[in-house]
Chains A and B, each alone.
Chain A
Amino acid sequence: MSMLRASRLCGGYGPRQVVGPVDLDIRAGTCVGVLGPNGAGKSTLLRLLAGILPPRDGEVLLLGRSLLGWRRREVARLVGFVPQSLSVAFPLTVQEMVMQGRAPHLGAWQPAGPADEAAVEAALVEVGLADRRNVGVHTMSGGERQLVLLARALAGQPRLLLMDEPATGLDIRHQLDLVDTVRRLVRTGVGAVVVLHDWNLAARLADGVLILQEGRVAARGASGEIMVPEVLGEVFGVVVDRLPAPGGPVLVPRAVPHARSQQPTVEG
Chain B
Amino acid sequence: MKRSADAVLVLALLTAAAASLLTGGAALSPRQVAGALIGTASPEVEAVVVSLRLPRLALALLVGGALALAGTALQSLLANPLADPFLLGISGGGAAAATLAVVALPAAALGAVPLAAVAGATAATTLVWWMARGPLGTSSTRLILAGVAVNAAASAVILLVLALASGQRLPGALAVTMGSLANASPAAAWWLLPYALLPALVLLHHGRDLGLLGTGEESAAGLGVDVPVVRRRVFLAAAALCGGAVAFAGVIGFVGLVTPHLCRLVWGPEPRRLLVRAGIAGAALTALGDVVARRLVPGAELPVGVVTAVLGVPFFVVLLRRSA
Known pairs A96-B270, A109-B205; A76 contacts B223 (CB<8 A): yes
Q: In the complex, what distance in Å separates the CA atom of A153 from the CA atom of B225?
A: 15
Residues A103 and B79 in contact, CB atoms below 8 Å apart: no
Minimum CB distance partner of A47 in chain B: B218
Residues B218 and A83 in contact, CB atoms below 8 Å apart: yes
Contacts of B268 in A (CB 8 A): 91-93, 96
Q: In the complex, what distance in Å separates the CA atom of A13 from the CA atom of B136?
A: 12
Q: In the complex, what distance in Å separates the CA atom of A20 from the CA atom of B80?
A: 34
Q: Is B161 an interface residue (CB 8 A)?
A: no
Residues A90 and B269 in contact, CB atoms below 8 Å apart: yes
Known pairs A52-B221, A76-B222, A77-B224; A87 contacts B137 (CB<8 A): yes
Contacts of A108 in B (CB 8 A): 205-209
Residues B224 and A100 in contact, CB atoms below 8 Å apart: no
Q: Is B219 an interface residue (CB 8 A)?
A: yes
Contacts of B207 in A (CB 8 A): 108
Q: In the complex, what distance in Å separates the CA atom of A240 from the CA atom of B162?
A: 74
Contacts of B206 in A (CB 8 A): 108
Give the residues from 228 to 244 in chain B that come closer than 8 angstroms, CB to CB, to chain A.
Answer: none
Q: In the complex, what distance in Å separates the CA atom of A267 from the CA atom of B135?
A: 31
Known pairs A13-B135, A83-B218, A109-B205; A100 contacts B81 (CB<8 A): no
Contacts of B270 in A (CB 8 A): 92, 96
Known pairs A100-B212, A103-B208, A108-B208; A87 contacts B219 (CB<8 A): yes
Further pairs besides A13-B135, A101-B223: 20, Cβ < 8 Å: A72-B224, A72-B226, A76-B222, A80-B222, A81-B222, A86-B219, A87-B136, A87-B215, A87-B219, A89-B79, A90-B76, A90-B214, A90-B264, A91-B269, A92-B269, A100-B212, A100-B215, A103-B224, A108-B209, A152-B223
Contacts of B219 in A (CB 8 A): 83, 86-87
Q: Is A151 an interface residue (CB 8 A)?
A: no
Q: Is A239 an interface residue (CB 8 A)?
A: no
Seen from chain B, the residues whose Cβ lies within 8 Å of a Cβ on chain A are 75-76, 79-81, 135-137, 205-209, 211-212, 214-216, 218-219, 221-226, 264, 268-270
Contacts of B208 in A (CB 8 A): 103, 106, 108
Minimum CB distance partner of A97 in chain B: B215
Q: In the complex, what distance in Å separates the CA atom of A81 from the CA atom of B209?
A: 16
Minimum CB distance partner of A77 in chain B: B224
Minimum CB distance partner of A103 in chain B: B223
Minimum CB distance partner of B82 in chain A: A89
Minimum CB distance partner of A137 in chain B: B215
Q: Is A65 an interface residue (CB 8 A)?
A: no
Contacts of A229 in B (CB 8 A): none
Q: In the complex, what distance in Å separates the CA atom of A71 from the CA atom of B229?
A: 12
Q: In the complex, what distance in Å separates the CA atom of A89 from the CA atom of B205?
A: 21
Q: How large is the interface on A (under 10, 10 to 19, 20 to 34, 35 or more residues)?
A: 35 or more
Contacts of B225 in A (CB 8 A): 72, 103
Q: In the complex, what distance in Å separates the CA atom of A93 from the CA atom of B270?
A: 10
Known pairs A83-B216, A86-B215, A109-B205; A52 contacts B264 (CB<8 A): no
Q: In the complex, what distance in Å separates the CA atom of A74 from the CA atom of B223?
A: 10
Contacts of A97 in B (CB 8 A): 215
Q: In the complex, what distance in Å separates the CA atom of A213 from the CA atom of B265?
A: 47
Minimum CB distance partner of B323 in chain A: A89
Among B209, B222, B224, B225, max chain A CB count under 10 A is at B222
Contacts of A83 in B (CB 8 A): 216, 218-219, 222
A-B contacts, 13 listed (Cβ < 8 Å): A52-B218, A72-B221, A72-B226, A74-B224, A76-B224, A80-B222, A81-B221, A86-B219, A87-B216, A92-B214, A92-B268, A106-B208, A156-B223
Contacts of A103 in B (CB 8 A): 208, 211-212, 223-225
Contacts of A101 in B (CB 8 A): 223
Q: In the complex, what distance in Å separates the CA atom of A82 from the CA atom of B208?
A: 19
Known pairs A87-B79, A89-B81, A91-B269; A50 contacts B222 (CB<8 A): yes
